[in-house]
């Protein structure tokens, strides 16, 4: 879920920014000034996503648990202590690890797709719009598809 939101938010931002840099020749300018555009633009964004997406996922995991508590209290009148007991009884570290490991795959995919779409943009403002849309759509679909494979892989490894 977090990965989907991030691919919408960060993926679009990356593709739009790099796309604009491409159509205004700023990426060519980087090259003429002795910089490798990939090293300068892509790698920091990849690292940023690799760091932030797992953290965001942890935050959203906790928000989910707190949200659950709120619903349990208000709607179903389940005492807080019972809710916590159930959470602690039923949740194991591996559940958390499972989700946490997948975020790295998603972060990599979102960064690569968005950067690639950005730096290969052509054709002015319209091109920037197109590559932003493509970046978001492709990374969302890839996140969903890869989720199945990642789950299967992690299950096979015993991390369910």
Partner 1 sequence: MIDASSVAKSFGPRPILRGIDLRVETGETLVIIGGSGCGKSTFLKCVIGLHAPDAGAITVDGMDITRLKTEAEIANYRRRFGYLFQEGALFDSLTVAENITFGLRYLTDIPTAKYRQIASDSLALVGLKDVEDFKPSELSGGMKKRVALARAIAAQPHYILYDEPTTGLDPIMSDVINDLILDLQKQLKITSIVVTHDMKSAYKVGSRIAMFHEGRVLQVARPDVIRMTDNPYVRQFVDGLSQGPIKMKLKEFDAEESAGSRKEKA
* Placement of tokens 């890839």 in the chain: 142
CA 92 to chain CA centroid, nearest Å? 24
What torsion do the CA atoms of 97, 146, 105, 121 make, to the nearest 10 degrees?
A: -160
DSSP-derived secondary structure letter, 83: H
Residue 35 interacting with partner 1 (CB under 8 A): yes
Least Å distance, CB 10 to partner 1, is 17
Question: To which H or E segment does residue 28 belong?
Answer: helix 26-32
73-102: contacts with partner 1 (CB under 8 A): none
Please enumerate in sequence order all residues whose Cβ is within 8 A of that of 137, keeping only pairs 6 or more positions apart, or say none: none
Least Å distance, CB 29 to partner 1, is 4
Least Å distance, CB 25 to partner 1, is 4
Residue 123 interacting with partner 1 (CB under 8 A): no
Which of these segments, 28-36, 49-57, 107-115, 125-133, binds partner 1 (CB under 8 A)?
Answer: 28-36
Residue 133 interacting with partner 1 (CB under 8 A): no
The answer to whether the CB of 113 falls within 8 A of the CB of 49 is no
Among 1, 5, 9, 28, the residue binding partner 1 under the rule CB under 8 A is: 28
Residue 125 interacting with partner 1 (CB under 8 A): no
Which of these segments, 23-31, 56-64, 80-88, 96-104, binds partner 1 (CB under 8 A)?
Answer: 23-31
Please enumerate in sequence order all residues whose Cβ is within 8 A of that of 125, keeping only pairs 6 or more positions apart, or say none: 23
Positions that interact with partner 1 (CB under 8 A): 21, 24-26, 28-35
């Amino acid at each position: 879920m977090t990965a989907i939101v991030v691919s919408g938010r960060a993926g679009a931002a990356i593709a739009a920014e790099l796309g604009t840099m491409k159509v205004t020749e700023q990426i060519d300018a980087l090259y003429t000034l002795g910089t490798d555009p990939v090293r300068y633009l892509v790698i920091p964004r990849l690292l940023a996503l690799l760091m932030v997406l797992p953290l965001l996922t942890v935050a959203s995991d906790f928000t989910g648990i707190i949200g659950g508590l709120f619903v349990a209290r208000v709607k179903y009148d389940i005492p807080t202590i019972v809710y916590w007991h159930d959470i602690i009884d039923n949740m194991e570290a591996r559940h958390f690890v499972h989700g946490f490991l997948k975020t790295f795959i998603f972060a990599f995919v979102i960064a690569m797709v968005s950067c690639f779409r950005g730096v290969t943009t052509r054709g002015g403002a319209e091109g920037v719009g197109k590559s932003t849309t493509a970046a978001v759509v492709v990374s969302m679909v890839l996140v969903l598809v890869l989720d199945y494979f990642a789950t299967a892989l992690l299950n096979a490894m015993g991390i369910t």
